[in-house]
Structure 1
Amino acid sequence: MIFTLFGDYIRHYGNEIWIGSLIRVLQEFGHNEQSVRAAISRMNKQGWIASEKRGNKSYYSLTEMGKERIEEAAERIYKIKPHSWDGKWRILMYTIPETKRSIRDELRQELIWSGFGSLSNSTWISPNKLEKQVYTLIDKYKIHDFVNFFVSDYKGPGEPEGLVQNCWNIDEINEKYEHFIRDYSQKYVIAKNKIDKGEMTDGQCFVERTILVHEYRKFLFIDPGLPGELLPEKWLGDSAASLFSDYYVTLAEPANSFFEGIFKEGNEMANISKDYDILDHPFIANNQ
């Protein structure tokens, strides 16, 4: 949830928030001060966020590693249509020894998150342009001596669609999109009705939008974001993305208002004078 808040709000307001404001915001979701501080401490130790003490107040911001992860996630979350394919496959092969097993396990999770699929135990492939992500992971885990990376054509004997079926469970992903569409279509209609009638508070819109993003971003862990040429004819990812976009934009203005109120109040209490505009958010700006 904190990642969601940084990605959807805080990074558009200077990438820094007072811990008091963060605690106040997360109270809307039933989280108490102790749980927020514990989560922030873990994220700090993991290198996602940095802390700064000014007087007796603590402030938190994304580190460079955190910014890169958020930017990568945002590019995928707010994408409405699949990209086109250059016809190439990115292939990462590794022979990481048993003594570095923990690194190997972490690398697998990172590869899945980035959209790679496992062709065999130590061979991972993707049709997406993930060169930057691959080199970042190689540097992060210092595994230069244990990996080989290729950008290659597929020469058969099967079809590229066969590789897709071997590496990803497209039917299962489609089914999860179907569930999302069914659940959130109803929520969208109800919320839009309430907003039009003035029956939904800014705070409720903020909670609903944050939960919407939080739930939708879970697809980053299962959907590799394949190009349109490799997707099945009855692919539901596009419909889910359109629903997400419509619902998100409907909730945007009142949700932003609620967050800004807490954020600016926290700044005033901490004697910080800054003015940020959530309309800098590319997804909102593109949908005005």
Structure 2
Amino acid sequence: MNTSTAIDEFIAGRESWGQEQPAHHRHIITLFGLFGRPAGKAFPVAAIVHLIHLLGAEPSSIRSSISRLKKKGVLVSKKTHTGNGYALNEELEPHLQAGDVRIFTPTSASIGDPWLLVSFSVPETERKNRHKIRTGLSRIGFGAVASGLYIGPARLKAEISAYVREHGLWDYMNFFICQPSGLMDLKNKIPKWWDLDAIAHAYQGFVDQYQPAIALWQDKVKQGQVDHAEAFKLYLPMMTQWRRLPYLDPGLPAELLPQNWIGFAARKVFNDLYRLLQAPATQYVMPLITA
């Protein structure tokens, strides 16, 4: 199996929710990303089915997604001490680590930081490679300046370089580290390069869905009434929805974002719920995947 196929399937969930990956498919990837670390740690099949079934998916659909993830090279068969199981492809670990940084310890660019311009030119006979380039740039968080020209904070260079190398695309691409001209009104350019309305809408959806749960779970913790299974049922979908947002919004300088940017409020909601849910959810999952 070509590693690039596994990488593409793994990162496909970063794009806006569509029909490419059903919810339970993304939940399986999140489950392994949270608890199957480092990549290569095996889960019993029964545990995967049980945990995702708690979220409302039918066992037959769960098993179908597991099979697809295996076919794509995201999961590999691996024996556990209780029988058959699956683990994440070990070659995905660098992508997991990069995701950890974006999800848990993000940094925003400062106004004076350099930018990375990525230009590419692909012959019409090889347009599938043009699609790979555009898809990779979008999923990593670059904005589109023009056809064949994308821009992002320079700190994204390592991630996009790895993607280009893994897909064999260097012959089509050029990178330039640069600073904007003093004559450019950068704040007015940013909404043309990134769809800030769509990003704000995604953040607002996250806040609307999960902010009400904070007070509820704070009370549960204070009263000592935390149900570990219920914590998991909220925690995994919350993490699944959040993990794509730091890729839609690559950490642009605050000075270039709209006033009262909803991304800051959304980050606080995520941090608050993560602190409340991570420990009890983990206490529920670990006995099942190690039993």
TM-score of the two chains, using structure 1 as the length reference = 0.82
- Residue of structure 2 equivalent to 1:17: 43
Match among 127, 131, 155 for residue 181 of structure 2 = 155
**Distance of 1:203 and 1:44 partners within structure 2:** 27
1:41 corresponds to 2:67: yes
The equivalent residue for 1:30 is 56
Matches of 2:254 and 2:33, distance apart in 1:
26
- Checking the alignment, whether the CA contact within 8 Å between 1:47 and 1:66 is kept in structure 2 is no
Q: Does 1:181 align with 2:207?
A: yes
For structure 1, the residue ranges without an aligned partner over 5 or more in a row are: 266-288
Residue 122 of structure 1 deviates from its aligned partner by 0.9
2-side partners of 1:47 and 1:155: how far apart?
44
Match among 62, 76, 93 for residue 102 of structure 2: 76
State which of 166, 187, 211 in structure 1 corresponds to 2:237. 211
Deviating 4+ runs (over 6 angstroms): none
User: Does residue 277 of structure 2 align to residue 257 of structure 1?
Assistant: no
Percent identity among equivalent residues? 26
Q: Which amino acid aligns with 1:262?
A: L
Which amino acid counterpart does residue 265 of structure 2 have in structure 1? S
Q: Is the 8 A contact 2:108 2:253 kept in 1?
A: yes
- Give the match for residue 129 of structure 1: 155
Superposed CA RMSD = 2.5
- The answer to whether the 8 Å contact 1:92/1:148 transfers is yes
Give the 3-state SS of the residue equivalent to 2:119 in structure 1. Answer: strand
Distance in 1 between residues matched to 2:100 and 2:207, nearest whole Å: 20
**Which structure exhibits the higher relative contact order, with contacts defined as CA atoms closer than 8 Å and separated by 6 or more residues?**
1
Greater Cα shift, 241-250 or 79-88: 79-88
Distance in 1 of aligned mates of 2:201 and 2:78: 44
Match of 2:23 in 1: none
1:127–1:227 CA contact under 8 A, matched in 2: no
Deviation at 1:187, TM superposition (A): 1.8
SS of 1:205's equivalent?
helix
Shift of 1:64: 4.0
Q: What residue is the counterpart of 1:91 in the other structure?
A: 117
SS at match of 2:117: strand
Aligned residues of 2:153 and 2:252 also touching (Cα < 8 A): yes
For the Cα contact (< 8 Å) 1:49–1:66, is it kept in 2?
no
Per the alignment, residue 269 of structure 1 pairs with none
SS at match of 1:129: helix
Q: Which has the larger displacement, 116-125 or 16-25?
A: 16-25
Render the CA deviation track for 1:30-79: whole Å, top value 9, x for unaligned. Answer: 22333223212222232323223579933322224422222222211223
State the number of aligned residues.
Answer: 265
Worse overlay, 250-259 or 70-79? 70-79
Which of 52, 57, 62 is 2:88 aligned to? 62
Q: Is the 8 A contact 2:43 2:80 kept in 1?
A: no
TM-score normalised by the chain length of structure 2: 0.81
2:85 counterpart letter in structure 1: Y
CA distance in 2, matches of 1:13, 1:94: 32
**C-alpha contact 1:185 1:243 (8 A) present in aligned 2:** yes
1:178-225 deviation per Cα after TM superposition (whole angstroms, max 9, x unaligned):
332233221221232234334442101011111111121232453232
SS of match in other structure, 2:43: strand
